[in-house]
Chain A
Amino acid sequence: MSQDVNILSPCGMLGYGFPEESFRRGMEQQVHAVVVDAGSTDGGPHKLGAGVSIVSRRACKKDLEIILGACLPGKVPVIIGSAGGSGARPHVEWTLDIIEEILREKQMSAKIAVIWADFTQEAVLDALGQGKIVPMSPNIPQLTEQTIRETASIVGQMGHEPVLKALEAGSEIIVCGRAYDPSPFAAVGIFHGKDPGLSYHLGKILECGALCAEPATTKDCILGTIGDDYFTVRALNDRRACTPISVAAHTFYEKDHPYLLHGPGFLLDLENCRFTEQGPGIVRVSGSRYIPQDKTFIKLEGARLTAYRTFVIAGIRDPILLGKLEDVENAVIAQTKQYYPEIDEQDYRIRFYNYGMNAVLGEREFEPFRGHEVGVLFEVVAKTQELASSICATARSTFLHYGYEGRKSTAGNLAFPFAPSDIEFGPVYEFSIYHLMECRADGFPIEIRQGGVQDGEAG
């Protein structure tokens, strides 16, 4: 029997925040690593495409100050998964810059491992040529050379292997580029000789913070402990508790299948897991199976700039207009197009979202409209920002003054909340790559550096 391994997850997303008291309670245990996920594709392709983060720099720094301040003096490794949100070079550098600032402010030094997850267009083209790339799901188009060349930012999700190497090198802070969310957690268990199935299953739970507890939240801490043939999870706040159902149910979260998880180089089978109560608020899990696959496929993510957007938000309260809103909107589109015969209609697109009516579900909306007020958001996406803004301005003025049949409010159709009414959004991206690529598990470069105050530097 080897020693139990404790892993503390402060929150579901670095920069979401967590109660310091929960964190301190967790650190009272003998913690082997603090691991925090910073990534997600949920917010859409813009962050990867534009190289920006999902949380503010201020919030990320606030969380890291607490974590680094508590971990570095006691040599507890800190691992950040999918740094900066999307885990591409600008996101990793943004995170490193924050870490450097904290280390200097605290007059500390640390051995930092940086694991890069960027892939060049050439590497992906090469893999495509060798037939090593397949779409993630049937509704994703086959990858083409043109798509790859148009995709400026490409990352791959690392497994636990490079993180394990960084731990073996004695790193105090490990900053991962894009990672399979559970992998930075799993690496800790595997580093300490624990079963990879248990390590990965625990990682899948911990990466969301206290979302597996009741009441659930991503903004609180959770402690995982791996034994020889089981692991336990427990909340660190008296206001929440883990139950066998809450932990079992969490395996559903944000993935396509409730008990089969495909990771880089393995399949995790949770079908026959047992979830039992070990003590008040502590859930024991066993039976998680790690099944190695013949080939390692990593998930590639790439974002391509597709258009520029300008949009308007306006309210409509006139009952006559509300009775024929969609007809009027179609007429506005037609009139706007008529006004610009010299512009190819393929170069732009006008869309209306009628909040209060069917904006969220679109054609799937089953409730008839019964309201007295609608919020209209209309957008123009076009080849250039100038074109989007020009078309949007025409659509807006056309809509504002459109003389529909039976109109009584002849002074204007829209209540704008703001002046100016038209908002330039900037570039719009899409996930142009979301494919599996056959690849070596160690294809992620590790760079080790000394961060913070260097030897001999004046304090």
Chain B
Amino acid sequence: MAKLGDIAKVLRSKNSGPFEITLDCLFDNRESYERLKRSNAITRETIARLYQIRVDQVHQLVFYDQALGFKVTIAREVSSGSAGDRDVYGAQQHAPLMNLDVAMKEEGP
């Protein structure tokens, strides 16, 4: 098992507009990216658990092969900069995803 934060080259969060936060995870080699994609570690259910939200609050989860990365977009509980918001730019909400354990070793045939 490895932490997603240890194997990704970029793992970041940022507002996608004031009502959503988008999480980007990018790799620097195709092998790690493909293994992660095949591991099925990244699902809407996993994201909902890490961020303590409902599955329907995960608005997008898309892999993009050209960029060796995936993107997850989730609903904000409090819109950016409103009273009660903790992170106006949404720039420090990636830590739960970083902490995700993923199985990167694959069983031989």
Contact = CB atoms under 8 A, between A and B. Distances in A.
Interface of A: 41-46, 136-140, 245, 248-249, 251-259, 273-275, 306-307, 309, 349, 351, 353, 359-364, 366, 379, 381, 428-431, 434
Given A245-B68, A307-B83, A431-B82, A254 B14 contact: yes
A274 B70 CA distance: 17
A345 to B, nearest CB: 15
B93 interface: yes
Nearest to A272: B66
B60 A257 contact: yes
Contact of A256 (B73, B80, B84, B96): B73
Nearest to B51: A364
B71 interface: yes
Given A137-B59, A361-B93, A252 B88 contact: no
Nearest to B28: A245
Given A140-B19, A251-B67, A429 B81 contact: yes
Given A245-B28, A245-B68, A45 B18 contact: yes
B18 A434 contact: yes
B75 A139 contact: yes
B5 to A, nearest CB: 13
A258 B82 contact: no
Contact of B52 (A251, A257, A364): A364
Interface of B: 10, 14-20, 22, 24, 26, 28, 50-52, 56-57, 59-60, 62, 64, 66-71, 73, 75-76, 79-90, 92-93, 95-96, 99
Contacts of B87: 360
- Give me the 9 closest cross-chain CB pairs, A-B, nearest first: A44-B81, A258-B64, A430-B82, A248-B67, A139-B75, A256-B73, A249-B67, A431-B18, A256-B16
A101 to B, nearest CB: 30
22 contacts: A42-B15, A44-B18, A44-B81, A44-B85, A137-B19, A138-B75, A245-B28, A248-B66, A249-B10, A249-B67, A251-B64, A251-B67, A252-B24, A257-B60, A258-B62, A306-B82, A307-B83, A361-B95, A364-B96, A366-B99, A431-B79, A434-B79
Given A430-B79, A430-B82, A257 B89 contact: no
B81 A252 contact: no
